[in-house]
Structure 1
């Protein structure tokens, strides 16, 4: 256990010196890939054992309790852009439970142009991640790691990389309280888009907590993310936008989520991401940017989760996740 804690400490020290400027490649890894996560604002590092798909967010958030669960998700975005996610957990005799998943974001059909503005035909682009995760619990702490291969194809240009996520979560023995920490997307680039490109991985450090007050039918989640970046603000001074203040800069690093526990089989989900709101809102109105809603319902052996994520006025993303315990379903049949 001491060696594992030392390894995590070294990773965190390395994070302090990570590059912070510029846009990242493979940034689709930071997009919510399942309906529950999308409905809770898109970022979560602490909600354990509720959804198999959360191992994509933090490998320590799933355990043996989710063995034999399978899940499929499709996220609908604007135009024909969409994301598909498939995950499955299986308990092996010697190594325990492994979580496995595939995440694919399709950018749809895109019209191509040359330097003079002439049409060159249409093309399809997309990005894919293959992920395997393992967790291990020691007393009230659970640690986990994800290994993933990532592939990107954009307009005929291809890039690939191998990445590692390392995470941990504290689980209170008596209270409904979780505190999670994850270091995401450490890795190496195998191939560049072109001989002159310089791919930068979407490295991130996230810290969050999920807790349910004893006498309230609510579970709250608060997650701080982009902790390895010095500044995450974006504003257009030439368009007359004011420079963000100190409080604004702090709030852009937080994501808030609430589960309303109406029934053991029915929950309402609400999320708010301040950074998304600030960057996507219209000048005249917020348009619901950054606010997400959803619900989950268990019907026999299946769980359905639906989400709606607001972007700008009249535009939103929708997600649908279907999950089931395959072993339980087969026994029932």
Structure 2
């Protein structure tokens, strides 16, 4: 049984292991950060294994019985007036052995003015996308390994164009309880479009992430390290604003070296008092910082920070994330214990 699960996992990974980043695929909203806690820790954190029911939207291997009857709602005021959010719920069945997870991810792009080829107004239109997910986790017997999967149905409406698709996420997590150390690997958005926008079948935003985290022995702090977008190693793109010009007027593009490419895959985060009723969180996303920074100006792009506060059976979370000097985001979250 274990061999079959492992073989299927890596077969699915190998069959679609090609480079996909922003602008190269459809349904890009599937890779947006899922919760304020994840956003505060830099984004794409996949190693939490606790009551945080939203975590399973990014890594189904994190589904566990502690999530039983936990419901969460998260909303973000994103860039350019865009709003998006997530909702999640988990239920444990069969003597706390089997836990099922349900999730929703949505995005609303707002309202736009429509015009024809001659510039004449044709009214307004909007765009929105939604993904519904169902997840399940399995602890491989007599091991510290957990495997999980999410099945997703995706709908998208952009002006008069519509599309429906399906995808699955696969995750595996290793937990060493003695060291309080977690390591995880996720392969996300393996799928296809069932119906296309205009007769052209587009790729889904396939993504491979690896993460580690550990709570320090004598300090109430948990560190997180994530390597994102491992399906494409040379992730850096030269910035035209950083091109150099010689005396003859010849331009030389910025060269993104090996170290720069490596750092752009890295996300670091830290959570103070992770098991208490009050938490402080801090994160740094190297790729966001490098791609959005302004030359000769310090604007702290890539930095994020947040707090979590538990009151009785409710837990509130808030995160502020820096993108550019003129555009930042706020993320609000509420999780309720329904037990």
What do residues 119-173 of structure 1 show as CA deviations (whole Å, max 9, x unaligned)? Answer: 3222111111001100011231111000001111112211121101111100003
Do the aligned partners of 1:15 and 1:228 also contact (CA within 8 Å) in 2?
no
Match runs of 1:257-272 below 5 Å: 257-261=269-273, 264-272=276-284
User: How much has 1:184 moved relative to structure 2?
Assistant: 0.5
SS of residue matched to 2:273? strand
What do residues 91-138 of structure 1 show as CA deviations (whole Å, max 9, x unaligned)? Answer: 233982111011111111122233343332221111110011000112
SS of residue matched to 2:81? coil
1:214 equivalent in alignment to 2:226: no
SS of residue matched to 1:206? strand
User: How much has 1:19 moved relative to structure 2?
Assistant: 4.5
TM-score w.r.t. structure 1 length? 0.92
Do the aligned partners of 2:47 and 2:211 also contact (CA within 8 Å) in 1?
yes
- Gaps (5+ residues) in structure 1? 328-333
Report the equivalent of 2:249.
none
The change in CA–CA distance for 1:264 and 1:129 in structure 2 (over 3 A counts) is: same
The change in CA–CA distance for 1:117 and 1:251 in structure 2 (over 3 A counts) is: farther
Query: 2-side partners of 1:115 and 1:109: how far apart?
Result: 19
Query: 2-side partners of 1:208 and 1:262: how far apart?
Result: 17
The change in CA–CA distance for 1:13 and 1:236 in structure 2 (over 3 A counts) is: same
Report the equivalent of 1:23.
24
Aligned residues: 325
1:8 equivalent in alignment to 2:6: no
Out of 53-62 and 281-290, give the one that drifted further.
Answer: 281-290
What do residues 210-264 of structure 1 show as CA deviations (whole Å, max 9, x unaligned)? Answer: 1112112211111111111243212333762622111111111111111012871
RMSD across aligned positions (CA): 1.9
User: How much has 1:68 moved relative to structure 2?
Assistant: 0.5
1:254 equivalent in alignment to 2:266: yes
Query: 1-side partners of 2:16 and 2:178: how far apart?
Result: 33
Query: 2-side partners of 1:144 and 1:319: how far apart?
Result: 27
- Gaps (5+ residues) in structure 2? 244-252
Query: 2-side partners of 1:230 and 1:263: how far apart?
Result: 35
1:276 equivalent in alignment to 2:288: yes
Do the aligned partners of 1:237 and 1:243 also contact (CA within 8 Å) in 2?
no
The change in CA–CA distance for 1:277 and 1:77 in structure 2 (over 3 A counts) is: same
